[in-house]
Structure 1
Amino acid sequence: MKYCLFHPIITLALSLFAIGAQANSPQDILPDTSENRARVAAAYEQYLNIDREHGRFIEVNGIKMHYLEWGDDSGVPLIWSHGYSSTGFELVNVADQLVEAGYHVYSISYRGHGHTQVDNYEFSLAHIADDIAAMMDKLGIEKAVIGGLSLGGGVTTTFYENYPERVLGIVLEDGGADAVQLRTEIMYEQMKAMLEHMPAMQMPVFQDRFAGIKFMANLYVPGWGGEFPKLSMVALHSFVVEKKDGTFGMHHDDAKMFDAFGEAAINPGLTHRLPLLHQSWRRVHPYITYRNLSVPMVIIDPTGDLFDATGSFEKLRDMHPDLITLVDYPNTPHAAHPMRPEWFVRDLEALLERIK
């Protein structure tokens, strides 16, 4: 297993450092040309069309939560939680195939992300789990397959901890399957040394939407083998929003939710200084949560991440070998399903067969 759940800290920091102010450097994935501007504009129209066709809002626990829906009641409900700094649009490239496999897909944007904006940032992974349960109540969903990428895996594990009776199966894509506090302790010196050589970081500001997508392309595409997977540019549009002053920026407020560039973000002894969401992520401990696991689970382990293994995914699998399937995705980045959609659909289809 490779550790990449410091993704919001390391990947963003490295990309900010590497991109700098060079608009058309040799490493630039999306040079500012008329052709690329047309590509970005066309992807934006696709993004708007997908939101019009599949986007929904639901009022739960005092917030308006946005989600994307594919399929109908003939499918098995799958409720998906995205990774930190992502949105529910991250599932667009596999949603139709998942419906064909037999799922009714609900891909949420949880608190503070995408269209689900909030004023009160005193929320944790448990609050998000409560939002999912309230959503299920309102939509008449008794039980569902619960899954997520990265921090969304933490949402999934937290949901099972609080609502195990409402879970049919579990999907953990490089998140939610290891003890986060332990990982923080193990990696502290490595992270400290890495960040000491980086300049001070802050969330970027863009003068137009194209500049925002250019930034996101340089952030994500190198991990996708140097090219855009299908519909990934569409998903990136959900990450870039227009601000009140006419500039563009990221859809989420890192300082209020994660504080990824602060000292406490890497120091295991300073957890108490972190925003509540990040504090709750540090508390994720699957060996405790899944000690009495009673439903099938698939763990997706990309082996192209940044950090070395400690065997956490394997240890969890070995606790319940009859229920847990651990699948390696060789040469695959942290966000595996955009780059390996066929594998992802294959493994979720196999999970569905076990549930049935």
Structure 2
Amino acid sequence: MQKNIANEVSTSLASPVHPLRKAPRAASLALMALAASAALVLSACKDDQPAKSGAAASTSPAAGSSVTAAAPGKSADASQDSVAKLNAYTEAYNKIIGTFGLPETRDRYYKANIPAKRATDSVSISDGWVDIALEQFKKGRALPAGGFGELDKAADQLIAALDKLVVELKDLDVYYTSKAYKDDNLAKGKAKDAEVRGHFEASLGALKNFNDILSAEQKKRDTAMLAKLKDSGDLLGYSTKLALQQGEELISLFGDENDISNPAKYTQGDTIVASLESTLADQRKQYAAAKDKQPSPDSGHESAGSRLVSLVGSYRDLKQSKKASDYNSMVKNYNSAVESANRISR
């Protein structure tokens, strides 16, 4: 899934501290609903002015304050705090949907099929890196930034669900790794199975809710970011950002297995692809023109564009095959484009 260009006027889009958000992949046999809510996250630079409807509007000096001279500095601090919080949440999200994240750990646990196992079987599970992502969410939640009430509430719900899951997974990982299940005839493992599955589903539900709200917060800035890049003459940055945004729109069309067999989705998808291919053609033109200038453009633009071309190819495979594996290829190519954009130097 997953998963998320800076407002600053430059030819770059993002850096490791201004991450784009990835899209979660689908499960091996069926699309996860979580994938439908994957959204491009393009966070602001520390010295940019955020949209009035975003977090900074609530983190500027309080109404009724008589300290007017300090307002610009306070506003700048609020902007930086907002960016830092969104970046932290974005990085936590990328961690939890990535390698050894929540979806993968859940799939591996379900495949273990504990209820069908015997004590004589070789049984193992993985606690993944869910605990690492959980700590990142907690750090993001602790950062001071106003105006994120709904997002912080969603983070609280997600953290609470993950806390319960991680405790159970850590305990059961020791239980299975030490083969203690051979002593109790797998009694503990079977007794805990329904509870653990419940924690997985609660965590995935909370993650989807968090993702929806985080996406909405970040999308508030997209239109302003694109306009600023275009108005500044940074047409390479503009076209790369726009292409990534259109790629995310294509990914987000498909939320479950019914969607990949729905002809209406491909009618919408064909429209997005036409726009995306036009944007990518312009991006290649802008990149070629920029190569003749100094400083030369970051190759991350070219890499991101190349992966988005592959995304279009995977979409056409999906349109023909209607297989979840081809959707997963779309997500893989989109996430590779995100990674390339995140490596663009600032």
TM-score (norm 2): 0.29
> Which protein, 1 or 2, shows the higher relative CO under an 8 Å CA cutoff with sep ≥ 6?
2
| Higher percent of residues as helix | 2
TM-score (norm 1): 0.29
